[in-house]
Structure 1
Amino acid sequence: MVSVTGALALLSAGLYLDGRTRLSRDLKFGVPGLRTKLWFQRLVNNNDISMYNRFDDQCLLRPFSVALVFEDHSYTWRDLELASNRMAHWYKSRGIGPKDRVAMFMTNSPLFVVSWLALLKIKAVAAFINNQIVGPVLLHSLKTANSQVLVFDYELRGALEESIQGIREIGYKTIVTVTPKEQVLSRFDEHLKEPEERFFDFMEWQQCSANGFPRASREDVVIGDAVALIYTSGTTGFPKAAVMDHGRCTLAISVWTGICNITEKDRTYDCLPLYHSAGAIIGIGQSWISGSSVVLARKFSTSGFWKDVREHEVTLIQYIGELCRYLVNTPEDPELDKVHKVRLMFGNGLRPDIWRKFQERFGVATVFESYTMSEATSALFNLTSGEDGAGAVGFRGPLVRAFQGGLRIVKVDLDTEELIKDKHGYCIECGPGETGELITLADSKKMENRFVGYYNQPKLSQAKLIQNAFVQGDQYMRTGDLLYRTKDNFWYFADRAGDTFRWKGENVSTAEVADTLGHVEGIASCTVYGVTVPGQDGRAGMVAVVLKDAYWEEDNDTLVISAPVDEAEGDVSAAPIATAVLRKLNERALHEFMDRLSLHASKRLPAYAIPRFVRICESELEITGTFKNKKVELKKEGFDVEKVQERLYWWTPKGCYVPFGRKQFEELHAGRARL
């Protein structure tokens, strides 16, 4: 029998050991991970891998419990099942079958969830189209989906109508709105139109059969079959459609549910856009595993956030870092700030300087921060309730590393974006405290490390991979993100490498923005990059523009270049040896250009992708040996008026560019101006 003294000694030793190794933290990830692997293998063995079956499980367990709450209306699991049955029959009547794609251009609503479920149950694939894109980017996304059917919310018709000819030309034969017909026809701009005047039809799915589809019809679904196509702004070009498959999605939501200990008693608040994997796969999908209720918001609102959370007795909130910053910056309300039932918040991108402020002000005990990508082969997790690990995107103790290997931080040249190799041609892993690019093992033989890539874009998929990274025959995926780790096994996000940055919770492709702005008359060349802004998450877009010669005129002053003076020889009368004609901008032409740029940006770019700053360059942009613009110095100088002697403009809330000078610079740093 162990004495009291001995027990205390063992306890002290255990606490000391845990403090050194953080074994208890490791177990929070390792145990759910192991449990998920065993459960997942049983699903594979039983041909039960379809993600829709997880929803079906909840319908059988709790048909009349609340599954979804939206704008004060509650929907039971049975409600969603019957509605999605009807819509599935409508899709089948239009010839949609297994592996066919359907483009969904929709906002957050129960109809988004119903449409997705309908397609899942008939083994078809939803392509979630970002509802903020327009013009060429929208056409590209629709073309990539390789579908003939487009369903949309009526409120988004403007973007479709503008590009309708192009949409027809790329093969879309069926364009229907899910918005109820009576609601559309009640509008002044529609009720007078004849049917042939509309570019769309109505999806009158409510009249279809409510009969379900047998579970046996999905036994042929395999782990690599797509759950959805979700578009991501990669390092180059237009958006790419990442294939979210049944295997990876089921594993992800199961791990999330296990680590957060989500049960049927929980209510999760999801105000993130459902066209992203965070809002849909995690926010909605976790409820299909746990049986919890989802309180869905049409969009994020600082004024409505806590009101919804309190009113619907929410216990879990989903976030992105930008969302938390907005909430922290709202006026404090000591009487209401901590009046809620939230026990945990989960998401990604929570900045270290906001992390503890948010927890302390709003009284949210636990944060589950994660790092992943739609196309990633692995993920990082950090679950913390105090100071220890606040700000880290992941914790990787020995237990986690044993079950989830294959994440490395390696040295990279920030100018060329090339990985730095050793004398044998292998990547060099960074030590603790060193910042480098995160790469993740891409092993097709292992379920947890499979790289699926981008739909219908094999070259772009291959470009994400590197072979022989550490040994001959291995393969890793480049994330394009810079991270560092500490000696105590915490991993921190440092920055985004390459041509993508994050702003307003969205990934912005600099190549996409530069290509769009390059069509503005007057631009000879331009390059886009992200710059840090005091008090803001992510990076704001900035574009450096070189104008055509027509926008310049000769200055009356002339630059005189003289020969060096040799005072030792007493020669102080050296004559000028050359002159150079100075140029200055034509103010009227520049003003007209900025007006055109403002109009083009507002019409052709999503709000989050519009560059917040413009720099008018007086010389050509520097390029690398591979003809890429050098952005390192441009990023360092940003919009600092002490470092930039060229014209600067910034985007105002009025939707146009105006001159940016010292006064505006000081206001921005003082937090008196908003972007």
Structure 2
Amino acid sequence: MNPSDIWPLDPTHFFRFDKCVRNRSCSIYNRFEEQCQIRPFAVALSFEGTSHTWRELELASNRMAHWFVSKGIQAGDRVAMMMGNSPLFIITWLSLLKIAAVASFINTQLTHAALVHSLKVSDAKILVFDFEYASALQECFDDIKGLNYDLYTMTPKQQVLGQIYNYLSRDTRRSFEIPFQYDFVEWENMSSEGFQKSIREHIEMSDPAALIFTSGTTGLPKAAIMDHGRGNSMRVAWPYFASITPQSKVYIPLPLYHSAGSIIGVGQSWHSGCTIVLARKFSASNFWKDCIAYDVTHFQYIGELCRYLLHAPESPLDRKHKVRTAFGNGLRPDIWAKVQERFGIKTIFEYYSMSEGTTALLNVATDKRSQGAIGFRGPIQRILAPTMKVVKVDTDTNELIRDEKTGFCIECRLNEPGELITLADNKTHSTRYQGYFNQPKMTQAKLVHNAFVQGDVYFRTGDLVYRNEDQYWFFVDRTGDTYRWKGENVSTAEVADTLGRVEGVVSCVVYGVTIPGQDGRAGMATLVLKDSILQRPTENGSRAVVNEQALNNFLQRMSEYVAKNLPSYAVPRFLRICEQDLEITGTFKNKKEVLKKEGFDLNLVKDRLYWWTPQRRYERFDRTENEQIYVEQARL
């Protein structure tokens, strides 16, 4: 039996959760405070050669909290944080939790309209930011001021002035004025006196611990409410399943502005008492060096992070580390076994959850049978906690398919893909649905009513999954990413997994493009290839260096592989050989919208294009072939 079959039915889990409610101790900050009392002088956080004990973080967050109070921040107020990974991010978040205020984590990759939108939704009083993001704020400063924000940089004044001084020429230093209005967070000389726990006694499990924005891969970001209830649940469950103890050292290279890095990665340490080893950002070249230097026992992954590790040159460091468990979500089946074998990782703890979702799937994978699954949900849990259903959906319209007689949703059979929906009746902490802050229409749009009985409510995940006979659950695709071609539904994720197995592929993204005179959308894949085939430019304006013979050999391998391993309708009709790295979000999700818009338009695409010919091989796509498509003479 997979251990996740008993979650969340573990009685210890319920006992701790209910005890927090009875003692009016729902705030996740109280979990941090408990660790400070248990192990004040143990190392809580390591970062770039420095270490911070639990006691040191406590005193620092006290000082920061006093600074916020001096600026008028009270319980329930929101403070927007546009900060990168550093101890200061954690200290700032702790200080706000300490005084029952709410942090709104702003994605540091946002600019222009998306940034202004996120600040507007946050409806906060103050924005604190690292100075490295000043240019993004400056570009939309007038709009931000219209939202009545006070801006403060967390970067020390002398460091900021030094950066400006070094940037300016001697002639302009005397006349220089700060380009936009902001002040400095001068907190280090504030009082280190603590705050009474009674400040947080009013907090309930349904109250927000943070606002966490979705990645915004399509449309503008949405502010998911991460409440204290989910924070408490996750901080108990993840150490349990990942076997994290006070002696563990957990490496987090993920951005803290997302729930994976903050709520799960950092938050679990407030229960387990482990040491967090924080990276400023993910680096494939430094990953194993850091793990070895800090004696890391666990690391957290998301999305394509493991693919980047796998495509890095092999090194003796690959197995010199002490990592025994990796936990995260989005590890694709095509590289799962390769990651475990190359790096000697015994256990992969893969989980499926969403910041705004109402439940989770867990898979503690130690054998081949469980590789590639996003979760295991055995008979005990399905009977006692029937909160998840896989239902039929029209992938063209994204509408759920209902039975003509009953009007209810139709559950999928074993091995039949469908959309995952989860109970959102708000009757228990695990089925509580908070939705999106300040966005009621979007909150309601994610719900489906009367799914199986009159009056029930389910949350639509937008993810296609299926479960097999062994009760393992597998991710198929996002409903919006699945496209229809030749009368068949095609999963972009499954096609990408197949292409990723071909030697030479570093990363790829698959999507559908419209063809004149054709129904549906034809598959297209943008590929990043190994340097031995195509060496990408290191300087702006320079071109990629192509090994023509190696590229031809690759195209032959790719043609043979997809012809053998994909149904004819799923074979991508176009390949785009990317001369630059694919643009990704902070959580390693590929940004497809620009690629979809450019399609195979030779006026927009400067990369090499190839297309699938009737001879079942990829050949160069140019003006002549393009003309054939537009006069509807091409055989696709």
Q: Could you tell me the TM-score, scaled by structure 2's length?
A: 0.78
How far apart, in 1, do the equivalents of 2:84 and 2:513 lie?
Answer: 30
For 1:285-319, what per-residue CA distance to the aligned partner results, in whole angstroms no more than 9, with x for missing partners? 00000000000001000100000001100000100
Indicate how the Cα distance of structure 1 residues 608 and 235 shifts in structure 2: closer, same or farther if over 3 A, else same. Answer: closer
Within the candidate set 237, 247, 251, 1:255 is matched to 237
Offset, 1:238: 1.2
Match of residue 358 from structure 1: 339
How far apart, in 1, do the equivalents of 2:190 and 2:510 lie?
Answer: 47
Indicate how the Cα distance of structure 1 residues 339 and 274 shifts in structure 2: closer, same or farther if over 3 A, else same. Answer: same
Match of residue 124 from structure 1: 101
2:268 paired with 1:286: yes
Residue correspondence of structure 1 range 27-38 to structure 2 within 5 A: 29-30=6-7, 33-38=10-15
How far apart, in 2, do the equivalents of 1:171 and 1:532 lie?
Answer: 47
Within the candidate set 358, 363, 380, 1:377 is matched to 358
- Contact between 1:442 and 1:476, CA under 8 Å: does it hold in 2? yes
Residue correspondence of structure 1 range 30-69 to structure 2 within 5 A: 30=7, 33-69=10-46
Within the candidate set 175, 181, 204, 1:199 is matched to 181
Indicate how the Cα distance of structure 1 residues 429 and 157 shifts in structure 2: closer, same or farther if over 3 A, else same. Answer: same
How far apart, in 2, do the equivalents of 1:442 and 1:234 lie?
Answer: 23
2:282 paired with 1:300: yes
- Contact between 2:395 and 2:482, CA under 8 Å: does it hold in 1? no
Offset, 1:607: 10
2:375 paired with 1:394: yes
- Contact between 2:304 and 2:589, CA under 8 Å: does it hold in 1? no
For 1:196-220, what per-residue CA distance to the aligned partner results, in whole angstroms no more than 9, with x for missing partners? 6542111111121111111122111
Secondary structure (helix, strand or coil) at the match of 2:188 reads: helix
How far apart, in 1, do the equivalents of 2:262 and 2:452 lie?
Answer: 35
Within the candidate set 293, 316, 322, 1:311 is matched to 293
2:462 paired with 1:480: yes
Within the candidate set 191, 214, 217, 1:209 is matched to 191
How far apart, in 2, do the equivalents of 1:667 and 1:98 lie?
Answer: 63
2:70 paired with 1:115: no
Within the candidate set 426, 448, 451, 2:430 is matched to 448
Match of residue 139 from structure 2: 162
How far apart, in 2, do the equivalents of 1:341 and 1:439 lie?
Answer: 38
Within the candidate set 289, 307, 318, 1:337 is matched to 318
2:39 paired with 1:71: no
Instruction: Give the partner amino acid of 2:61.
Output: S
2:159 paired with 1:183: yes
Indicate how the Cα distance of structure 1 residues 204 and 476 shifts in structure 2: closer, same or farther if over 3 A, else same. Answer: same
Indicate how the Cα distance of structure 1 residues 64 and 608 shifts in structure 2: closer, same or farther if over 3 A, else same. Answer: same
Offset, 1:405: 2.3
2:208 paired with 1:226: yes
Instruction: Give the partner amino acid of 2:19.
Output: R
Identical columns (%): 50
Within the candidate set 390, 399, 412, 1:430 is matched to 412
Match of residue 310 from structure 2: 328
Within the candidate set 254, 269, 279, 1:272 is matched to 254
- Contact between 2:4 and 2:376, CA under 8 Å: does it hold in 1? no
- Contact between 1:465 and 1:477, CA under 8 Å: does it hold in 2? yes
Match of residue 631 from structure 1: none
Q: How many residues align?
A: 527
Offset, 1:35: 1.7
- Contact between 1:648 and 1:659, CA under 8 Å: does it hold in 2? no
How far apart, in 2, do the equivalents of 1:202 and 1:436 lie?
Answer: 51
How far apart, in 2, do the equivalents of 1:69 and 1:490 lie?
Answer: 36
Residue correspondence of structure 1 range 481-560 to structure 2 within 5 A: 481-498=463-480, 533=496, 534-535=499-500, 539=509
How far apart, in 2, do the equivalents of 1:50 and 1:667 lie?
Answer: 60
Residue correspondence of structure 1 range 589-628 to structure 2 within 5 A: 609=591, 611=593, 613=595
- Contact between 2:476 and 2:493, CA under 8 Å: does it hold in 1? no
Match of residue 389 from structure 2: 408
- Contact between 2:80 and 2:106, CA under 8 Å: does it hold in 1? yes
- Contact between 2:77 and 2:125, CA under 8 Å: does it hold in 1? no
For 1:377-405, what per-residue CA distance to the aligned partner results, in whole angstroms no more than 9, with x for missing partners? 00100001120210000101122224532
Indicate how the Cα distance of structure 1 residues 538 and 402 shifts in structure 2: closer, same or farther if over 3 A, else same. Answer: farther
Offset, 1:348: 0.3
Q: Could you tell me the TM-score, scaled by structure 1's length?
A: 0.74
Instruction: Give the partner amino acid of 1:480.
Output: G
Offset, 1:647: 3.5
For 1:416-441, what per-residue CA distance to the aligned partner results, in whole angstroms no more than 9, with x for missing partners? 11000002110000010100000000
Instruction: Give the partner amino acid of 1:106.
Output: M
Indicate how the Cα distance of structure 1 residues 485 and 93 shifts in structure 2: closer, same or farther if over 3 A, else same. Answer: same
Secondary structure (helix, strand or coil) at the match of 2:100 reads: coil
Indicate how the Cα distance of structure 1 residues 207 and 131 shifts in structure 2: closer, same or farther if over 3 A, else same. Answer: same
Secondary structure (helix, strand or coil) at the match of 2:426 reads: coil
How far apart, in 2, do the equivalents of 1:193 and 1:540 lie?
Answer: 52
RMSD: 2.9
Match of residue 512 from structure 1: none
For 1:613-647, what per-residue CA distance to the aligned partner results, in whole angstroms no more than 9, with x for missing partners? 3666xxxxxxxxxxxxxxxxxxxxxx6xxxx7x63
Secondary structure (helix, strand or coil) at the match of 2:317 reads: coil
Match of residue 20 from structure 1: none
Secondary structure (helix, strand or coil) at the match of 1:314 reads: coil
How far apart, in 2, do the equivalents of 1:407 and 1:610 lie?
Answer: 29
Match of residue 129 from structure 2: 152
How far apart, in 1, do the equivalents of 2:415 and 2:592 lie?
Answer: 34
How far apart, in 1, do the equivalents of 2:457 and 2:28 lie?
Answer: 28
How far apart, in 1, do the equivalents of 2:20 and 2:619 lie?
Answer: 57
Indicate how the Cα distance of structure 1 residues 412 and 47 shifts in structure 2: closer, same or farther if over 3 A, else same. Answer: same
- Contact between 2:4 and 2:362, CA under 8 Å: does it hold in 1? no
- Contact between 2:333 and 2:371, CA under 8 Å: does it hold in 1? yes
Offset, 1:666: 6.0
- Contact between 2:4 and 2:241, CA under 8 Å: does it hold in 1? no
How far apart, in 2, do the equivalents of 1:531 and 1:353 lie?
Answer: 9
Indicate how the Cα distance of structure 1 residues 110 and 545 shifts in structure 2: closer, same or farther if over 3 A, else same. Answer: farther
How far apart, in 1, do the equivalents of 2:224 and 2:185 lie?
Answer: 27
Instruction: Give the partner amino acid of 2:351.
Output: S
Offset, 1:94: 0.6
Match of residue 459 from structure 1: 441
- Contact between 2:5 and 2:381, CA under 8 Å: does it hold in 1? no
2:88 paired with 1:139: no
For 1:34-55, what per-residue CA distance to the aligned partner results, in whole angstroms no more than 9, with x for missing partners? 3211210111011111100000
- Contact between 2:412 and 2:418, CA under 8 Å: does it hold in 1? yes
For 1:177-210, what per-residue CA distance to the aligned partner results, in whole angstroms no more than 9, with x for missing partners? 0011111111124775666654211111112111
How far apart, in 1, do the equivalents of 2:289 and 2:423 lie?
Answer: 43
Indicate how the Cα distance of structure 1 residues 544 and 132 shifts in structure 2: closer, same or farther if over 3 A, else same. Answer: farther
Offset, 1:136: 0.4
2:215 paired with 1:238: no
Indicate how the Cα distance of structure 1 residues 303 and 32 shifts in structure 2: closer, same or farther if over 3 A, else same. Answer: farther
How far apart, in 2, do the equivalents of 1:227 and 1:55 lie?
Answer: 13
- Contact between 1:318 and 1:347, CA under 8 Å: does it hold in 2? yes
How far apart, in 1, do the equivalents of 2:191 and 2:200 lie?
Answer: 19
For 1:447-469, what per-residue CA distance to the aligned partner results, in whole angstroms no more than 9, with x for missing partners? 11000110011111011111110
Match of residue 330 from structure 2: 349
Give ranges in structure 1 of 5+ residues lacking alignment.
1-23, 502-528, 547-597, 617-638, 651-656, 669-675
Larger Rg: 1
Give ranges in structure 2 of 5+ residues lacking alignment.
484-491, 501-505, 517-579, 621-636
